[in-house]
Amino acid sequence: MDDSTLIQKARQGDGGAVRELYQRHAGRVYAIVKRLAGHDEALAEDWAQEAWVRALRALPTFRGDARFTTWLHRIAVNSALHGRRSRMRKAGRETAMDDDRFSVRAVAETSVLKLKLERAMERLPEGMRKVLVLHDVEGYTHEEIGAMLGVNPGTCKSQLFKARARMRKLLSPQPLPEDDPAEEEMATCSI
């Protein structure tokens, strides 16, 4: 059976005709994309498979103006070039990752830091904590925070400054005396 008969049957949904077209031309499609993929056989296989998917989807539009092999060749080249461009775009967006980032030690350090931050936030007076979270975490402006809390934006700025200073002290390597009255006096909040 010639290609034109197989194409006609494949268009009508004949799986055997599709299989026969694949068996006749798979080697050529693979050879084309392999040249574009270089030594990466897995990549060539992916691109060849993509070429066949595109060819089978486009089979109803094949008019027969050119030989089937020419049409299939063009689809294979376009699929490989599309795959290459896609791969290059992804490579441009990817960044190298340090293997240390996912070590047990790194995860433990992250957990310890998270715990320290939570404890330090708990030790802040409620008004300072509100302003710090609304501004530094949620991204609200001082005017928006002032409107939410019913205070002057200047008060929000002042409380944010005090909250940040208090957090620096709480997170510093030197231990703070527990519940020092002088510290608590300094940390009072008017919100």
CATH number for 51? 1.10.1740.10
Does residue 107 fall inside a structural domain?
no
How far apart are alpha carbons 175 and 65 in whole angstroms? 83
> How many structural domains is the chain composed of?
2
Which two three-digit tokens encode residue 59?
């089979």
The Cα–Cα gap between 141 and 169 comes to 25
Q: Can you give the residue range of the structural domain that contains 182?
A: 112-186
pLDDT score at 187: 45
* CATH number of domain containing 151: 1.10.10.10
At residue 185, the pLDDT reads 43
Statement to judge: residues 87 and 149 lie in one domain: no
Domain shared by 9 and 88, yes or no:
yes
CA distance 136 to 142: 11
Last residue of a domain, which of 43, 66, 93? 93
- Structural domain contains residue 176: yes
In a domain, 16, yes or no: yes
pLDDT for position 25: 93
The torsion angle over the Cα atoms of residues 66, 68, 73 and 74, rounded to 10 degrees, is: 50
In a shared domain, residues 78 and 50? yes
Q: Does 100 reside within a domain? A: no
What is the full per-residue pLDDT of the chain (191 aa) written as tens digits?
888 888 899 888 889 999 999 999 999 999 988 888 888 889 999 999 999 999 999 999 888 888 999 999 999 999 888 888 888 887 777 666 665 555 667 666 777 888 888 888 889 898 898 888 888 877 888 998 988 889 999 999 999 999 999 999 988 886 555 545 444 444 444 56
Q: Are 82 and 125 contained in the same domain?
A: no
User: Could you tell me if residue 125 is inside a domain?
Assistant: yes
Helix (H, G, I), strand (E, B) or coil at 90: helix
